Structure 1
Amino acid sequence: MSEADDQGTSTGPEDWAPEVEEIRHRRSLAGRMGGPAKVRRQQESGRLTVRERIDRLVDPSTFAEIGALTGFADHDDDGRLTSFLPANFVAGTARLDGRPVMLGADDFTVRGGSGDAAIHAKQIYAEEYAGRMRLPIVRLLDGASGGGSVKMAQEAGYSYLPVNPAWDAVVGNLSLVPVVAACLGPTVGLGAARLVMSHLAVMVEGIGQLFTAGPPVVRGGTGEDLTKEELGGAAVHRRNGTIERFVATEEDAFAVIRRFLGYLPGSVYELPPVVPAGDPADRREESLLRAVPRDARRPYRIGPVMEAIFDHGSVFPYAEYGGATVTALARLDGHPVGVLATDPYRGATMSVEGAQAITRLVDLCETFHLPIVSLTDQGGMTIGRVAEERGTIRAGARAITAVYQARVPQAELILRRVYGVGGAGIVNRHRAGRSWAWPSGDWGSLPVQGGIEAAFRAQLEQAEDPEAEIERIRRTLAAIASPFRTAERFGVQDLIDPRDSRPLLCAWVRDAYRILPELTGPPSFGTRP
């Protein structure tokens, strides 16, 4: 057989260099996104492009794109590519602070992220692959994120029954892997739904807006003539429980994303990452001895208390909408924990939003196996007509239910108040959890000061000097309400020197982490947004 016969009769190239060059060319076209004019318009609006966002978020040189050649192509009669518009969703795996994640990012420069330029199979694959490979998901949202449009129906010649792409995986992933979403532009329709289907939603003020339908649709449907900011900006969502964190810049959003994921395991099949603490577990802060004022009417700052108890610099605020209710992630001797607390400068009771913040944090901790620590100063549910109109008790009962359903270890430091239904349910006291009280502890069904007139009305009406009688009753009740009386009956496990709080909690958290392996796997109930 001749050499020509052995190599065949083809006169084409002997290797695949032309096809490799075609791959390079098409990747280059995809990198142009929606073209120079659309890219310039994106940047002039104060927003990064999708490629810039990825570069600034992930560890250098770790982004491995999936479906880079996916898009809309035109060809000439000989099959050669004449034009190419990439799909408006960029996906791939990457590393954040060395940990693998799945990244899905909208490209607003291509048809504003709408379904006109989406290939839904790519979104579906990204969500399904993340679940299959147990990768945390980061969604960078900017636009409709694949939603349909009137134009699509016109071009197709028929109307379609709405289906949310990848929704089985989107729902399932909430109970499987950490999901973070950032609102980095006008996020509408399906994009808005994908934002709130997360464990942490972040909005960049000024450039991010969240709405179910945009201003033109709202104008036609309700007659309201609103700008994007008026309809769905930070001022609209700051206290309604939709967004956990608000930040000033996209860089700030990326920092929040990286830090949040640092407290969580890669999936429910792993334990939270324990890191070297760099902070002595036996540290005793003198400031704690005077943190709570003797005058029960004086507020105090919860921030310094948290910094004194948890590892230095480890407190990560969670929901910003809780009002007086504070939720956070933190570390004890390097071990991640969830934290429930109260900011007395903003109040003492649990509002609807505070209850939602508690529910969200406790569900997060139960899903990803973080022990829960309550720094309890809980004055019960918010009261009054407005609170009743808003159904505060149902929201509060839902939060308490989340606490009681959580299987993760719970510990409590009682700093001051424990009153009513809210105080009773801030930890599950029917379980063998660990609890310590500071000498400033004050508890009961109702505050003594507010119940004397009601409880002793008949006695006060018969008294010659009602004011003197009130003072006498107050002194008697104050003695009965002493935390030492409660400790004598084992109504509280221990009264402690506040300076011992950190050493005791650090010892507890090491024990708590010993039993966490038996809790790995999906939560006992599906996580909901």
Structure 2
Amino acid sequence: MTEDWTSAVEEIERRRALAAQLGGPDKIARQHSSGRRTVRERIDRLADPGSFQEIGALTGFGTYGEDGSLDTIQPANFVTGTARVHGRKVVLGADDFTVRGGSGDAMIYAKQIYSEQLAGQYRLPLIRLLDGASGGGSVKMAAQSGFTYVPVNPGWDHVVHNLSTVPVVAACLGPVVGLGAARAVMSHLCVFVDGLAQLFVAGPPVVRGGTGEQVSKDELGGTDIHRRNGSVERVVTSEDEAFTVIGQFLSYLPDSVHALPPATAGADPADRREESLLSAVPRDPRRPYRIQPILDAVFDTGSVFRYAEYGGATVTALARLDGHPVGVLATDPYRGGTLSATGAQALTRLVELCETFHLPIVSLTDQAGMTIGPAAERAGTLRAGARAIATVYQARVPQAEVILRRVYGVGGAGIVNRHRVHRGWAWPSGDWGSLPAKGGIEAAFRAELATSPDPAAELDRIHAQLSAIASPFRTAEHFGVQDLIDPRDTRALLCDWVHDAYRLLPELLGPPAWGSRP
């Protein structure tokens, strides 16, 4: 017998090799045939080369011979460890669909819970690569155990805690079901791969048995279901694009709420003036304009990262000013100008993200109020909008506003907290009031129009009178706006402001004023 531990080390390597076989060649081939990578291929693709340090590689379900030696082992269907993504250290937790489709009867829950604890306690961003049930229980487990249990989500206290502690990203890379689906939306960014992913509480067989509905996986939880409903922030075309989006998103955020966002040396001149801004907003108020060229002109070149794609006319983004990460609220006039229920949800999510991780907020305001009409009322727009405004008012991070065009009604009034000191500017195209003139005049002057011998002429007179009063210069005379500016000066002013904003951020370090929610 040798005096060293060579044989034990060889056994470690043998067991690691067995774990690397995942669910076996047939299951791996099936995974590939569906267009999906295996769990270890995904980790290799996402993590910086050589940076993944696996934790619990030997975890699994072993079978032993009469002499006590290992015959075979089925690895647990969850792989975890630390890695670096674009140089940033993170915790990775990834499902292995090749072993029982990620279901609970092939899961050792302590491993998954540990990944959540590790991220929270060591203050590291957490990335969940989801593909399957992600640890949910099964009927088979109950049959094997011989008893049932009162449901509990394993480690869910840590899942909830992490939302207020570290950046959490989830990627839906296949069918994501049950507990896995819940873990997907318990994140700050949920990425969904078109054509590969589905997201649902229960799959088609359970739905058929419970409701009688006959649906496919895509009909139940595919891209068409989730692109606009607020469950996922970004829909991407491939796993590679999902991994790119994850790296981009994390680059704006600190490792935890106990650190400041990662400012970098500004490569884009802070005093850059774009001539295009002078004509970006048409003089004709009925003509829409494109918001993306304005974002590109104002923020650091190439830094605008679109956040929630489901917001409709409400644009949410992350960007940089002179190298400093900020949150961005804006409007896409080509998709409307009002705050819808899903737009309010997108706004709420962005502001909560910024409050949690201490990013100042810039609003490029063109807000025509909340969406009106029967469909909007059925969608509960008022409640969603009020919640968004409350979130804006509760946020402690510095806010700045540039009014591009409209500021109408409750929606416009609440896009920034106008009851606290914020830095604000307005372009000459600014147009504001309690209600837009069209429709609002007829409502406000109903009696006068009804008694006028010439209602059309009276309406024209009122329009002319209010147009003169509505001049932004009159508002500026009464300090209703802090400054009217040349649009070309916008970037320089915001780049100067962001340095003031960042001086205030150390006071906000630590958990957010309220616990973050999905």
Residue 227 of structure 1 deviates from its aligned partner by: 0.8
What is the aligned partner in structure 1 of residue 408 from structure 2?
419
**Largest Rg, 1 or 2:** 1
Matches within 5 A, 1:5-20: 12-20=1-9
Q: For the Cα contact (< 8 Å) 1:142–1:184, is it kept in 2?
A: yes
Q: 1:459 aligns with which of 448, 451, 454?
A: 448
- Whichever residue aligns with residue 246 of structure 1, its letter is V
Separation (CA, whole Å) in 2 of partners of 1:481 and 1:293:
17
Separation (CA, whole Å) in 2 of partners of 1:452 and 1:247:
45
Separation (CA, whole Å) in 2 of partners of 1:129 and 1:466:
71
SS in 2 for 1:274: coil
**Any idea what the Cα deviations from partners look like across 1:248-289, whole Å, max 9, x if unmatched?**
000000000000000000000000001122110000110000
Separation (CA, whole Å) in 2 of partners of 1:335 and 1:117:
44
> C-alpha root-mean-square deviation of aligned residues, in Å?
0.7
Residue 390 of structure 1 deviates from its aligned partner by: 1.8
What is the aligned partner in structure 2 of residue 341 from structure 1?
330
What is the aligned partner in structure 1 of residue 184 from structure 2?
195
SS in 2 for 1:321: helix
Q: For the Cα contact (< 8 Å) 1:106–1:143, is it kept in 2?
A: yes
- Whichever residue aligns with residue 287 of structure 2, its letter is R
Matches within 5 A, 1:60-459: 60-459=49-448
Separation (CA, whole Å) in 2 of partners of 1:469 and 1:394:
37
SS in 2 for 1:299: coil
Q: For the Cα contact (< 8 Å) 1:449–1:474, is it kept in 2?
A: no
Q: For the Cα contact (< 8 Å) 1:184–1:207, is it kept in 2?
A: yes
Q: For the Cα contact (< 8 Å) 1:372–1:408, is it kept in 2?
A: yes
Q: For the Cα contact (< 8 Å) 1:215–1:228, is it kept in 2?
A: yes
Q: 1:31 aligns with which of 17, 20, 24?
A: 20
**Alignment gaps of 5+ in structure 2:** none
Residue 382 of structure 1 deviates from its aligned partner by: 0.5
What is the aligned partner in structure 2 of residue 4 from structure 1?
none
Residue 469 of structure 1 deviates from its aligned partner by: 1.8
**Any idea what the Cα deviations from partners look like across 1:178-220, whole Å, max 9, x if unmatched?**
0000000000000000000000000000110000000100010
Q: % of aligned pairs identical?
A: 73
**Any idea what the Cα deviations from partners look like across 1:397-449, whole Å, max 9, x if unmatched?**
00001000000000000000000000000000111100000000000000123
Residue 76 of structure 1 deviates from its aligned partner by: 0.5
Q: 1:46 aligns with which of 32, 35, 40?
A: 35
Separation (CA, whole Å) in 2 of partners of 1:505 and 1:242:
32
Question: Structure 1-normalised TM-score?
Answer: 0.97
Separation (CA, whole Å) in 2 of partners of 1:51 and 1:428:
47
Residue 450 of structure 1 deviates from its aligned partner by: 2.2
Residue 116 of structure 1 deviates from its aligned partner by: 1.0
SS in 2 for 1:346: coil
SS in 1 for 2:310: coil
SS in 2 for 1:408: coil
Q: 4+ residue runs of structure 1 moved beyond 3 angstroms?
A: none
Residue 146 of structure 1 deviates from its aligned partner by: 0.6
SS in 1 for 2:311: coil
Question: Structure 2-normalised TM-score?
Answer: 0.99
Q: For the Cα contact (< 8 Å) 1:245–1:319, is it kept in 2?
A: yes
Aligned residues: 518
Separation (CA, whole Å) in 2 of partners of 1:173 and 1:321:
24
SS in 2 for 1:90: strand
SS in 1 for 2:482: coil
- Tell me if 1:501 matches 2:490: yes
**Any idea what the Cα deviations from partners look like across 1:327-372, whole Å, max 9, x if unmatched?**
0000000000000000000001000000000000000000000000
- Whichever residue aligns with residue 59 of structure 2, its letter is T
- Whichever residue aligns with residue 58 of structure 1, its letter is A
**Any idea what the Cα deviations from partners look like across 1:209-242, whole Å, max 9, x if unmatched?**
0000001000100111111111000100111100
Residue 458 of structure 1 deviates from its aligned partner by: 2.4
Separation (CA, whole Å) in 2 of partners of 1:377 and 1:451:
18
**Alignment gaps of 5+ in structure 1:** 1-11
